[in-house]
Amino acid sequence: MNGQIQPLTRLTEDEVMFKDMVYKFAEEQVKPYVKEMDQEGAFKPDIIKQFFELGLMGIEIPEEFGGAGSSFFMSIIAIEALAMVDASAAIYMDVQNTLVNNAILNWGSDSLKKKYLPQLATEKLGAYALSEAGSGSDAFALRAKAEDKGDHFLLNGQKLWITNGGEADLFIIFATVNPEAGYKGITAFLVERGFEGFSVGKKEDKLGIRASSTCELIMDNCKVPKENVIGEVGKGYKVAIETLNEGRIGIGAQMLGISEAALNYALTYSKEREQFGRPIAEFQAIQFQLGEIATQLEAGRLLVYNAARLKDNGEKFVKEAAMAKLFTSRMAETVTSQVLEIYGGYGYTKEYPVEKLYRDAKIGQIYEGTSNMQVQTIAKFILG
């Protein structure tokens, strides 16, 4: 059967086992620290180390480079499973697999792959640095510059809102070698944290996914060897576009996990909470809300899984990725808001977990392309 018409939410036995394994790990090793990490705005380094030990940070990296040699879809269901416990945990793995690893796998030279993929699979966290103060949705209005110095480039400029920035050892940084050429001057560079002239600046204090670090990056005559160009000079826009298309499916999976967690909490609470002498789950108004949430969740899962299957099958998936991110990010905000209301006054307090889910959900409509940008992408496809 064609990948587009198979039962898309049905997982194979191996996929079910893998997703269950990741979820069990998250329940046992991540969940006990979720509240503390959220309050402190910091992720425990030992948990990131465990991500590597489980093979979660190099799922698509070939075995010859120390990775699992598995599929993009496996990355997606792992992100979903982690997000059911903590969205911050999920985004560490998401950025590593869908953006950083994929950029090097698809565009890196053989020497870059041999040098860096084993590190990314086993010990070093990556970050993806495109955004700047003046280039958000207009992603290619970059001011960071790269000057050709013969055997190396000198990078100058700043990057903002870089996920994983606080802990990352390797950074994919986009800068222009020729501002007059517009997007055709943009080039992707692989920068090590210890490179001369590179530093990590301010860490943002955020509404949600607080345990995930979001930082400023500073390049002050940052010296980057020429062999660390990813792809071709002046073709960085292609690297950015293609990796972000994959990354949007990852964000969809994160939003799925948040929404699944919210529904699970709502189901448990509605059976335990009594009003007027009976559980609130027996009231039709609550049943209607739960039924709507479950339906929205299944629709979102179909969109995310479909986009991931298409990507693995080598079929076009850009429109489907945009739809998946658009729908699930809106869904997550709506679902977490409804569940918070089901909890009533308790839901508005930090004693219960749903207020965190509500805060975590909002970022889905902002990063890796705002909802407006997803709608625009979809419209371009349907208009031909």
Q: What are the pLDDT digits (tens) for 166-176?
A: 999 999 999 99
How far, in Å, CA of 68 to CA of 63, rounded?
Answer: 6
pLDDT of residue 223: 98
pLDDT in tens, 74-106: 999 999 999 999 999 999 999 999 999 999 999
Q: Answer yes or no: is pLDDT of 8 > 80.
A: no
Same domain, yes or no: 101 and 69: yes
Cα–Cα distance for residue pair 313/71, rounded to 1 Å? 10
pTM (predicted TM-score): 0.96
Give the end of a domain, one of 102, 125, 148: 125
Q: Over 80: is that where the pLDDT of 354 sits?
A: yes
Same domain, 48 and 93: yes
Ramachandran region, residue 367 (left: φ > 0; alpha: ψ -120 to 50; beta: rest): beta
* Domain boundary, last residue among 201, 234, 267: 234
Q: For residue 4, is it within any domain?
A: no
Is there a domain that residue 270 lies in? yes
Count of all residues that appear for the chain in the document: 384
Query: What's 199's domain CATH number?
Result: 2.40.110.10
pLDDT single digits (tens) 112-151: 999 999 999 999 999 999 999 988 888 788 999 999 999 9
Tokens of 218: 């500073």
Q: Domain check: are 296 and 328 in the same one?
A: yes
CATH number at residue 297: 1.20.140.10
Q: 115 and 18 share a domain? A: yes
Residues 6+ positions from 366 with CB-CB distance below 8 Å: none
pLDDT of residue 240: 95
Say if residue 94 is in the same domain as residue 44. yes
Shared-domain flag, residues 86 and 166:
no
**361 within domain boundaries:** yes
pLDDT at 4: 39
Residue 57: pLDDT above 50?
Answer: yes
How far is the C-alpha of 170 from the C-alpha of 115, rounded, in Å? 12
Residue 1 in any domain: the answer is no
For residues 275 and 340, state if they share a domain: yes
Residues 208-219: what's their mean pLDDT?
Answer: 98
The answer on 245 and 363 residing in a single domain is yes
Instruction: Catalytic residue, from 60, 260, 320, 368: name it.
Output: 368
Q: Is the pLDDT of residue 356 over 80?
A: yes
What CATH code is carried by the domain that includes residue 75?
1.10.540.10
| pLDDT surpassing 50 at residue 229 | yes
Average pLDDT, the chain: 96
pLDDT digits (tens, 9 = 90+) for 59-78: 999 999 999 999 999 999 99
Region 275-279 average pLDDT: 97
The total number of structural domains in the chain stands at 3
pLDDT above 70 for 1: no
Do 333 and 347 belong together in one domain?
yes
Say if residue 81 is in the same domain as residue 121: yes
Residue 211's domain spans which residues?
A: 127-234
Considering the domain architecture, whether residues 282 and 204 belong to the same structural domain is answered as no
Residue 284 exposure: Cα atoms within 13 Å on the Cβ side: 0
- Does residue 6 form part of some domain? no
60 labelled catalytic: no
Query: How does DSSP assign 244-301, residue by residue?
Result: HHHHHHHHHHHHHHHHHHHHHHHHHHHHH-EETTEEGGGSHHHHHHHHHHHHHHHHHH
Residue 23: per-residue pLDDT: 98
In a domain, 298, yes or no: yes
Query: Do residues 224 and 262 share a domain?
Result: no
Indicate if the pLDDT at residue 205 is higher than 80: yes
Among candidate residues 71, 92, 125, the one where a domain is terminated: 125
Pick the range with the lowest mean pLDDT from 2-6, 44-48, 241-245: 2-6
Tell me the average pLDDT across 349-372: 97
Residues 116, 170 contacting (CB under 8 angstroms): yes
Q: Is 3 among the domain residues?
A: no
- Look at residue 7 and tell me if it is in a domain: no
Work out the percent of the chain whose per-residue pLDDT is above 70: 98
Confidence bin at 3 (pLDDT 50/70/90): very low
Mean pLDDT of the 37-41 span? 97
Average pLDDT of span 18-42 = 98
Angle at 118 between CA 114 and CA 124, to 5 degrees: 125
